[in-house]
Structure 1
Amino acid sequence: MLLACLGPEHASNILAHLREAEIDRLTLDIASMGTIDPEIKAKVFDEFFQMAEAKRFVAEGGIELAKELLEKSFGAQKAVEILGRLQSSLQEVPFQFLKKADPAQISSFIQEEHPQTIALILAHLEPKVSALALSSLPPETQTDVIYRIATMDRTAPEIIHEVEHVLERKMAAVFTQGFTFAGGVKEVAEILNLVERSAEKNIMEKLQERDADLANEINKLMFTFDDLVYVDDAGIQKALREIDSKDLALALKSSTDEVKEKIFKNMSERAREMLKEEIEFMGPVRLKNVEEAQQRIVAVIRRLEESGDLIITGRGEGGGEEILV
């Protein structure tokens, strides 16, 4: 955006000093921007000036001096914000060039890659994007990729360089420095919570056959619609106030009796009868629509659990152990 605000002449002078891959990426971004509002231009220039000053202060005297000088120039709160942005900008993110890509594009890129390469890529993307890309893979590949993400630890920079270099032919790429932590069972749980229920079930069944301990560890971190029975009653009541009634009826269409009972007992008699009636007269529905409704409800439960508004207990091995999702 800064280059777009500077205009063609100044922007071209800066682009001349960049790598070809960086030029390609920036040119595509600039071309898709359209007209920039004057107020936004002013904010871009202000932020650039602040970041430039911060970098200069850090180079001259380190973080502490930079913080002191920034506080004098912009105030204490603004100084913290500027330093935070500076530190974020200095940390290059693996596969940054894929962050804004359409999941369908990513899926087409990775189809022919080795499962380990696919695992490396998906481990560095947002779980929602990884889930969509994972769903496009053959079932046997899905399980293999999930296993590799779950058992992944640290990745050397030369390996990431190599993978990025291959994808660079299709999209503009940036290289990353240093060792990067990615993958693990938590990452897998987040991804599987977002894939379609049928795909998740298939993956977990095959993973259980391949490595039962790993599958159990992942399962403990996951939360599915069937796990509503482990939510405390007060939490269910809070969730019901935020869940769309149509989603609830659709989700319960193919749920277990235990889940239905958990929901029904936390509703008023009138609301319960209305819901039962809606389910009864709903007629045949697509399984995909049911699973999507269940995922939306799970998203509400996870959000309330993370904010401390409900408690999930008793899931997995050990009976009364609380599950953090």
Structure 2
Amino acid sequence: MKADPNSLSGVQRAAVLLLSLGEADAAEVLKHMGAKEVQKLGLAMATLTNVSRDQVTRVMDEFTSALDGQTSLGVGADEYIRNMLVQALGAEKANSLIDRILLGRNTTGLDTLKWMDPRAIADLVRNEHPQIIAIVMAHLDADQAAATLKQLPERVRADVLLRIATLDGIPPNALNELNEIMERQFAGNQNVKSSNIGGVKVAANILNFMDSGQDQVILGAVSQVDQELGNRIADLMFVFDDIIELADKDIQLVLREVTGERLGIALRGADAKVKEKITRNMSQRAAEILLEDMEARGPVRLSDVEGAQKEILTIVRRMSDEGTIVLASGGAEALV
């Protein structure tokens, strides 16, 4: 894709930087990233074409400027690494990496799961106790956890999600035991520290990635056991129509990363107020083209609409994690 230098997304700028470093140095950088980040960067590098000299120069200048701002006298190496990772990945994603680098934490068995297909993960844990499954799910990224949960028997899904929502830190011995289970399949060090994973927000994020209908079935089953907990999870769930709660400036930032084709399909199943909110934050010409394309496309399968909406929600959640935008679920408290 060809774009002016200012229009490159954060992932695209990172791709330009890695492509400029060369294979050996780029590989060293990728070693310190998680599976999801490597996959995103790999896709960006594979699809980025016609990069101008001006684009490369701007990206390198931004990177140099950022380094200069982080390496002033008096800043220790640990603080520099911590600040750099938080800026690059966001506070939530950076914390686990900071633990591994600065505190010597190693969760090899669990981390390896992030590279596996959801069906394979489900096969690996389906015979384990629901509490073990819950800890595994909480450790995965939300979309991967949701895909894995779909592969598990329906009778255990609500139980697992209920346990995820009520997780409040994992004792060292429990995490060690889980790592030992995982390392029956994968070799690695079992010297781990305690970890804060799980919670209501993690459970809500996983449900957000479940198919339409499945999320409500699981949430209903959880609510039957604990109504208050079910309500807390529901309050934190962010669905496509909740985009109307985003500020105009945030809507505009999201639209920069969504293709017109996918947006048109996603809006097929959206509330009229959502369509109005989206088109109001586009140029008049772009809005006209979008509406014309939607009218000319004809009927679209519901699964395609839901798929396009989930793609956009993934972008929204990623930008929220990065601190680029601020989410508010149905007008509830902001997710930061």
TM-score band, normalised by the shorter chain?
Answer: 0.5 to 0.7
8 Å CA contact retained: 1:97, 1:172: no
2:228 maps to which of 190, 196, 213: 213
1:95 has 2:138 as partner: no
Which is further off, 165-174 or 282-291? 165-174
What CA deviation, in whole Å up to 9, does each residue of 1:21-55 have, x standing for no partner? xxxxxxxxxxxxxxxx9967xx89xxxxxxxxxxx
Amino acid across the alignment from 1:260: K
- How many Å apart are 1:148 and its aligned residue? 0.5
Query: What is the CA–CA distance in structure 1 between the aligned matches of 2:99 and 2:326, rounded to whole Å?
Result: 35
1:150 has 2:200 as partner: no
RMSD of Structure 2 on Structure 1 (CA): 3.4
Aligned to 2:281: 266
Query: What is the CA–CA distance in structure 1 between the aligned matches of 2:169 and 2:311, rounded to whole Å?
Result: 33
Aligned to 1:3: none
8 Å CA contact retained: 1:97, 1:173: no
The DSSP-based 3-state class of the residue aligned with 2:335 is: coil
1:324 has 2:335 as partner: yes
2:119 maps to which of 93, 104, 111: 104
Structure 1 pair 123/300, CA: closer, same or farther in 2 (3 Å)?
A: closer
Length, aligned pairs only: 253
- How many Å apart are 1:246 and its aligned residue? 0.6
What CA deviation, in whole Å up to 9, does each residue of 1:253-278 have, x standing for no partner? 12222322322333344433332232
Structure 1 pair 281/100, CA: closer, same or farther in 2 (3 Å)?
A: same
Amino acid across the alignment from 2:197: A
The equivalences for 1:278-293 within 5 A come to 278-293=293-308
Query: What is the CA–CA distance in structure 2 between the aligned matches of 1:151 and 1:126, rounded to whole Å?
Result: 18
1:234 has 2:243 as partner: no
Tell me which structure has the larger Cα radius of gyration: 1
What CA deviation, in whole Å up to 9, does each residue of 1:299-320 have, x standing for no partner? 333344455554545x45xx5x
Query: What is the CA–CA distance in structure 1 between the aligned matches of 2:111 and 2:102, rounded to whole Å?
Result: 13
8 Å CA contact retained: 2:175, 2:192: no
Amino acid across the alignment from 1:263: I
Aligned to 1:244: 259
1:275 maps to which of 285, 290, 299: 290
The DSSP-based 3-state class of the residue aligned with 1:95 is: helix
Aligned to 1:122: 137
1:133 maps to which of 143, 148, 154: 148
8 Å CA contact retained: 1:196, 1:292: no
Aligned to 2:69: none
8 Å CA contact retained: 1:167, 1:173: no
Query: What is the CA–CA distance in structure 1 between the aligned matches of 2:287 and 2:158, rounded to whole Å?
Result: 39
What CA deviation, in whole Å up to 9, does each residue of 1:111-141 have, x standing for no partner? 2323222102212233333222112123332
Q: Unmatched 5+ residue regions in structure 2?
A: 1-21, 30-72, 83-97
Query: What is the CA–CA distance in structure 2 between the aligned matches of 1:168 and 1:85, rounded to whole Å?
Result: 20
Amino acid across the alignment from 2:316: I
Structure 1 pair 185/277, CA: closer, same or farther in 2 (3 Å)?
A: same
Structure 1 pair 283/268, CA: closer, same or farther in 2 (3 Å)?
A: same
Which is further off, 249-258 or 93-102? 93-102
8 Å CA contact retained: 1:127, 1:191: yes
Which is further off, 281-290 or 299-308? 299-308
Q: Unmatched 5+ residue regions in structure 1?
A: 1-36, 45-74
Structure 1 pair 242/114, CA: closer, same or farther in 2 (3 Å)?
A: same
8 Å CA contact retained: 1:119, 1:149: yes
Query: What is the CA–CA distance in structure 1 between the aligned matches of 2:272 and 2:23, rounded to whole Å?
Result: 59
- How many Å apart are 1:225 and its aligned residue? 0.7
8 Å CA contact retained: 1:96, 1:173: no
Amino acid across the alignment from 1:100: W
Query: What is the CA–CA distance in structure 1 between the aligned matches of 2:116 and 2:208, rounded to whole Å?
Result: 21
Which is further off, 147-156 or 207-216? 207-216
Structure 1 pair 209/256, CA: closer, same or farther in 2 (3 Å)?
A: farther
TM norm structure 1: 0.64
8 Å CA contact retained: 2:175, 2:194: no
